[in-house]
Chains A and B, each alone.
Chain A
Amino acid sequence: MTAVLEKKPVQVAPKEPRRWKGAALFAAVAVVALVVMPLVLEPFRLGLLAKYLCYAIVALGIGLAWGQGGMLTLGQGVFFGLGGYAMGMYLKLNDAGGDLPDFMVWSGVEQLPALWAPFRNPVLALAMVVLVPLVVAALLGTLVFRQRVRGAYFAILTQALAAAMVILLVGQQGLTGGTNGLTNFFDFFGNDISAESTQRGLYLTVAIVLGVLYLAAWQLVRSRFGRLLLAVRDGEDRVRFLGYNPATVKTITFTISAVMAGIAGALFVPVVGIISPALLGVVPSLELVVAVAVGGRFALAGAVLGAVVMGYAKTYFSEELPDAWLYLQGALFILVMTLAPKGIVGVAGALRDRFRKEAAA
């Protein structure tokens, strides 16, 4: 029964004549996100939307690595966490003034660990948000892709990394806050972090960052590099025979997706007010991959849409049916996947083609 949807080859780069349509759609979404939403939504709901948009940034990275590059990464939580903790450490030190952060006091730490020292400086901390995921992903990618680890092995490896990261963070309570994570922040670059104006500003920042990263990713996919990436996904050995090094292409893409996750993590911390191991383990990493699948992994817009839709679904179901929401969330995923294996965007695309065909007939 799925033949209708699967006959058509996957199309990623939009055709030239339709380019203005994409731009118009992007502009419309931007207006809704930047103007309409802050006016319509109450502060609490706007905060939630900001959280979903943070997840959407991670999803965008997954869409790039998995949808375009064929690298199923089940451990984006690691990079999300690295970015988040970098931001959290700065905020914690900033709030503590010259003293130790609160959790170190009750964990029996007497001196600020050397690892924390660079995060006193806001500029350095923000640089770390990008640099740490970048370096980790580049190293990992170089090691793994050169050894031609791919498919399920790569997926398992990234998942193991997420599990290991959680154990490491939980075990080092004095250094990381353990299971509690880092929370109870007050000041965000001179603003009261919980003030409505700060939160609105944060929402706008997240939305703009998402927009900029989306355009950058879109440009990347359309470029020669993007074509190469698709080629690697669909026939890695052929690309190698043509004289390209697939390992380099994959490492670069994986690193970009990791940096996106890191930036998302850093934005998430002031928006939500906490970063803890529970946010970056196997389950949240998988949830994001599920969201990308629901939205449609072959289009970047699908990844973003999926993260927002699944975020809303989670909030909505859990508020309406606190006892049974997990089943509903699962059912939503199964329903979308069985009825529309290419996700929401895939259905939209198929409908559009159908109407066009009818109009032509």
Chain B
Amino acid sequence: MRNLTWRAGAVAAVLVTALAACGGDPATTEGTTSGGGGNTIKVGLLHSLSGTMAISEVTVRDAELLAIEEINKAGGVLGKQLEPVVEDGASDWPTFAEKADKLISQDKVATVFGGWTSASRKAMLPVFEKRKALLWYPVQYEGLESSPYIFYTGATTNQQIIPGLDYLKEQGKTKLFLVGSDYVFPRTANKIIKAYAAANGMEILGEEYTPLGHTEYGTLTNKVVQAKPDAVFNTLNGDSNVAFFKQLKGAGVTAESMPVLSVSVAEEEVTGIGVDNIVGHPVAWNYYQTTDTPANTKFVEAFKAKYGANKVTSDPMEAGYNAVYLWAEAVKKAGSTDVEAVKKAAGGIALERPEGLVTIDGETQHMYKTARIGIIQPDGLIKEVWNSGEPIKPDPYLKTYPWAGGLAS
């Protein structure tokens, strides 16, 4: 009988702990307005810390925390320290929406930095628009979006995919094979690639999709090899790249015979794929760890000092790192953390960042960014071989490209 009481007590204790969440924490919900009040400004960081996307998103969160720490050391914003509130999106889109709402309505954060997959952004978008709160989204994406409550610090299609295609065309690669994961970014990217190809006399020999997390690429590799394309345009995401590049190497494909241009493989992923399997292949981004700017030397040093000498920095991390600085700059200019004031002040802000000069385009809330094509080196880093010369004006709906007429209608 004592046994039973003890067990019942244990279960009850667990339940009470769980149910304590019921009322929320009044201390964090009262008093502060718009992240102001007190001596700190609360900002939300919302990335997947568990699930399939954690491996990528944790690095972005780390970069954002570094930026917050640096800004605080330099005196904070408007004389106040930034206080990060971290939540886990759990690689699950509805969770992203729930946690975004929590950060806005419970924690009253001044802004949120977060997301990686397009699906997570699409799930958060209605929350930010309805609550009239700000989201800074740090990853390159498929374009065709311009929410008034989102700032996009990664590349849109005309800053990554189109320069990638320009590069392939310059190299005389006119027959392409498209390989991608089955979700909105690869599908939309490939729609744009096909329109570009039609207008530029290029030929698309095949278009294949595999589910996210797919790792069996024997059949697909055969299809690619048999089609004999000049190059492959790769929009696979995550682990799938490991299997895909291994199979390709096994099938005798080399970077010289058939380069595979990837748009979702950065320094972080190269390590996972294995340098041997991917060395010599091109990638398209706006930033590499090797990008030669004074700001980047500082960023790489600070990141390694905080998180370990073996850590690499990549494009999405840099875009997350930038987002915090760009927001802080807009707050300083506006003199307040008020969302509408910050939005108004943000347009035209130009900062020297690790990737070079970044300017906020007030109209689309995207950034002017320099496109860079790089080749993966035997040491796992990426060497730039081509860049657009100057920051490209963001054009999420590809309005300035006549061949893209039917895409955004």
Interface residues in chain A, defined as those with a beta carbon under 8 Å from any beta carbon in chain B: 1, 4-5, 40-45, 47-48, 51, 103, 105-108, 167, 170-171, 173, 178-181, 183-185, 194, 272-274, 276, 278-279, 309, 312-313, 315-320, 322-323, 325-326, 332, 335-336, 339-340, 344, 347, 350-351, 354
- Scoring B residues 167 to 185 as 1 if CB is less than 8 Å from chain A, else 0, what string do you get? 0000000000000001110
B364 to chain A, nearest CB (A): 16
On whether the beta carbons of A339 and B10 are closer than 8 Å, the reply is yes
B interface, by DSSP: helix, strand, loop or mixed? Answer: helix
- Residues in A with CB closer than 8 Å to B3 are 1, 4
Contact A180 B101, CB 8 Å, known A41-B23, A106-B188, A336-B14 = no
Within residues 1 to 44 of chain B, which ones have a CB less than 8 A from any CB in chain A?
Answer: 1, 3-5, 7-8, 10-12, 14-15, 17-24, 29
Q: CA–CA, A181 to B183, complex, Å?
A: 10
Q: What chain A residues lie within 8 Å of B182 (beta carbons)? A: 170-171, 173, 178-179
Could you show 10 A-B contacts with beta carbons less than 8 Å apart? A4-B4, A44-B106, A179-B183, A179-B212, A180-B93, A183-B125, A194-B130, A273-B127, A274-B97, A350-B4
Q: In the complex, which residues 102-128 of chain B have their Cβ closer than 8 Å to any Cβ of chain A?
A: 102, 105-106, 117-119, 122-123, 125-127
Specify which chain B residues have a CB less than 8 angstroms from the CB of A332 in the assembled complex: 14, 18
State the 5 A-B residue pairs at the shortest beta-carbon distance, nearest first.
A316-B21, A322-B88, A313-B18, A179-B183, A194-B130
Tell me how far the C-beta of A298 lies from the nearest C-beta in chain B, rounded to whole angstroms: 16
Residues of A within 8 A of B93 (CB): 179-181, 183, 274, 276, 278
Question: Closest A-chain residue to B4, C-beta based?
Answer: A4
Question: Closest residue to A37 on the B side, CB-wise?
Answer: B22
Q: Which residues of A contact B101 (CB under 8 A)?
A: 44, 47
A351 CA to B2 CA in the complex, in Å?
A: 11
Residues of A contacting B222 with CB < 8 Å?
none
Interface range on chain B (Cβ under 8 Å from partner): 35 or more
Cβ of B171 to closest chain A Cβ, rounded Å: 28
Interface contact A44-B18, CB-CB below 8 Å: no
Residue contact A309 to B7, C-beta cutoff 8 Å: no
Q: Which residues of B contact A (CB under 8 A)?
A: 1, 3-5, 7-8, 10-12, 14-15, 17-24, 29, 49-50, 86-88, 90, 92-95, 97-99, 101-102, 105-106, 117-119, 122-123, 125-127, 130, 142, 144, 182-184, 187-188, 191, 209, 211-212, 408-409
- A181-B119 in contact (CB<8A): yes
Tell whether, in the assembled complex, residue B18 and residue A309 are in contact, meaning their CB atoms are under 8 Å apart: yes
Measured CB to CB, the nearest residue on chain B to A170 is B182
| Interface of A, helix, strand, loop or mixed by DSSP | helix
Chain B residues with CB below 8 A from A279, complex form: 94
Closest to A43 in B: B105
Alpha-carbon gap, A44 to B87, bound state (A): 16
**Shortest CB distance A44–B (Å):** 4
Cα(A40)–Cα(B86), bound, Å: 26
Contacts of B29 in A (CB 8 A): 42
CB B179 to nearest CB in A, in angstroms, measures 16
Which residues of chain B are near A273, meaning CB under 8 Å?
Answer: 97, 126-127
Contact at B184–A106, with CB atoms within 8 Å?
yes
Given contacts A183-B125, A194-B126, 12 further A-B pairs with CB under 8 A are: A42-B24, A44-B101, A171-B211, A179-B212, A180-B93, A180-B123, A181-B119, A316-B17, A326-B50, A340-B8, A340-B11, A351-B8
Residue of B nearest to A331 (CB): B14
Task: Tell me the minimal C-beta distance from B239 to chain A in angstroms.
Answer: 16
Residue of B nearest to A4 (CB): B4
With A and B bound together, what is the CA distance between A45 and B106 in angstroms? Answer: 9
The listed residue (B20, B87, B127, B191) touching A108 by CB distance below 8 A is B191
Tell me the bound Cα distance from A141 to B25 in angstroms: 46
Cβ–Cβ < 8 Å partners of B8 in chain A? 340, 347, 350-351
Bound form: Cα–Cα A184–B123 in Å? 7
Which residues of chain B are near A194, meaning CB under 8 Å? 126, 130
CB atoms of A322 and B11 under 8 A apart = no
Contact B125 A184 (CB under 8 A): yes
